[in-house]
Amino acid sequence: MIPIRSYVSLLSRYLRRVKARMTVLAGFALGGIALQLLLPQLIGRFIDDAIGGAATDQLIPLALWFLVVALARQALAIATTWLAEDVGWRSTNELRSDLTRHVLDLDMDFHKEHTPGELIERVDGDVTALSEFFSAFVVKVVGNGLLVTGILILITFEHALVGLILSVFTLATLALMMAVQTVAIPWWKTQRASSAELMGFLGEQLSGTEDIRANGGVGFMVHTFTDILRRWLPRRVRSRLGFAMLWGTGIVHFVVGATLVMWLGTRYLGPGGLTLGGVYLIFHYTEMTRNPMDEIRSQMEVFQKAGAGIDRVTELMERRSNLDTSGTTAIPSGALSVVFDHMSFAYADDETSTVLHDIDISIAPGRVVGVLGRSGSGKSTMAKVLTRLYDPTQGRVLLGGVDPREASLHDLRRRVGMVTQDVQLFRTTVRNNLTFFDAAINDERLMSVLADLGLSNWLDSLPNGLDTMLESGAGGLSAGQAQLLAFTRIFLKNPGLVILDEASSRLDPATEAMIESAVAAVIMDRTAFVIAHHLGTVARADDIMIIENGTVIEFGERTTLQADPTSRFSRLLASGMEEVLA
């Protein structure tokens, strides 16, 4: 059955925001129903008056009234349809916004489980199904339901027994439709899940087209795509079978109903029974039930999709982040001290494999820490813990003496900045890419920051300066230019802790030299973690931290470690074996 509680919750929450339009829509719908019920009454009276010998001047006003009512009903029908679509899209656009905001607030474990394509299908595809459901609820379901009810009441006034028989028959048809719809909703839900899997796969593979083709992975990807389609097709066929079953009940209702009315009309026509106008009225009203019943039947397919969509939207909205974001403690200003208090971390999907082991280190404010280690040693995971993309599974981290779990998440994002080797750019202007769409940052502030970072010449080289449009992904910029944008973002935030996670690993020597001044400006008077594979990258570090298999095997001042021939760092410098860190 339709998830009534979930639907009513969504309906009351989002239609409340357009209640003025909903009031007008309800008025239009009720007016249209009243006029639609009035039209057969005018025709029936016209027939009876004409058979009774009424003069032409008595019949003409009835005909004129029929035309006026018909035109008014058509105008209301157009206005109702337009307003219903407007209400549906306004309310579901609000739902899309809320879902997007909710997804962005969820932790990284959730985003590891779901591909971007799958989330697009959940946020847009499922909600699009609900858009028609929202707009159709008043007009095509409640409205047509009221129309059928009004028709049956008027037929009962014409002849009580005929009205009773047709009412029982109509209710039986609706009950059959509801039974079919109850069976079909799980089929639609399964089909929507398959569509999300398909969209997720396509999004992931299309974004990696170059790597797939360059490494000969096309055959494997096509084979995987075929397997997904083989699972999707039978589920799609089954979901369409639900529609076919509903369509069949509509056809049966029309054929049996028309036959029943013909038999009842001939049986009760005559003195003490029905007039010819009354027979026409019952036949016409019965014919009128065909359209609303067919509309209700077609909306049952929408209900099937919407029922599955409501389940999936509700499931997504009820998903809670593993991160508690209720903290309100402010993180102090200035350079931040960093304390790892016996901190350990394991990913939620593999808690038996700890990535970081019992790290117990204190770093004074304003220190630059060079973090070295092999790929997979835990360097980037440490950065994710510091930025609170994940929380420690044991122990704690203190930033400026504050546990990030007790801090305001907004304050934490402002006070801790990170630059990675992959910079995310958006399809918009350089200005918006630098400010992350924060209109409070004016152009004077931007120009000042770019000048402080020594990037004025770079900005002058762009065709339209701050108004230069960038593309998504690489943005049409070189790796070095993208990094310059990332450094500017950090400088605008003015954080107390900066994390550079392999920020220059993809740059050629000339470009790397170009951003040296920018790096120096970014880490000045701030605590910084410089994560690197190469020894030369940490030449400006005050302290060195070497991580191996998630354990800090060496930590100390760079100059002290460099002077100590027994230290791991000194041996690496002496041997020049940078490859051991790769």
Task: Give the 3-state secondary structure of residue 397.
Answer: strand
The pLDDT, as a whole number, for residue 404 is: 92
- Mean pLDDT, consecutive 10-residue stretches, the chain (582 aa), reads 62 78 84 82 76 78 87 89 84 86 84 80 78 66 79 79 80 76 72 76 74 77 85 83 72 74 72 69 73 70 67 81 83 92 81 82 93 86 90 92 90 88 81 85 87 78 84 64 80 88 61 67 86 77 91 93 90 67 50
Q: Which residues, at least 6 apart from 70, have a Cβ–Cβ distance to it below 8 Å?
A: 39
CATH placement of domain 366-388+414-581:
3.40.50.300
Task: Give the 3-state secondary structure of residue 387.
Answer: coil
Question: Can you give the three-state secondary structure of 454-510, one letter per residue?
Answer: CCHHHHHCCCCHHHCECCCECCCCCHHHHHHHHHHHHHHHCCCEEEEECCCCCCCHH
Question: Where exactly does CATH 3.40.50.300 map onto the chain?
Answer: 366-388+414-581
The pLDDT, as a whole number, for residue 507 is: 58
The pLDDT, as a whole number, for residue 308 is: 67
pLDDT tens across 475-514, in order? Answer: 567 777 777 788 888 888 889 999 988 766 555 565 566 6
User: What does residue 298 show for φ and ψ, rounded to 5 degrees?
Assistant: -65, -35
Question: Where exactly does CATH 1.20.1560.10 map onto the chain?
Answer: 14-318
**Burial of 208 per CB tally in 10 Å (0-12, 13-18, 19+):** middle
The pLDDT, as a whole number, for residue 556 is: 93
SS3 content of the chain, % helix, strand, coil (to 5): 65, 10, 20
The pLDDT, as a whole number, for residue 509 is: 60
Asked if 285 contacts 39 with a C-beta cutoff of 8 angstroms, the reply is no
The pLDDT, as a whole number, for residue 4 is: 61
Q: What is the model's pTM?
A: 0.64
Domain made up of 14-318: CATH architecture: Up-down Bundle (1.20)
The pLDDT, as a whole number, for residue 515 is: 66
The pLDDT, as a whole number, for residue 582 is: 46
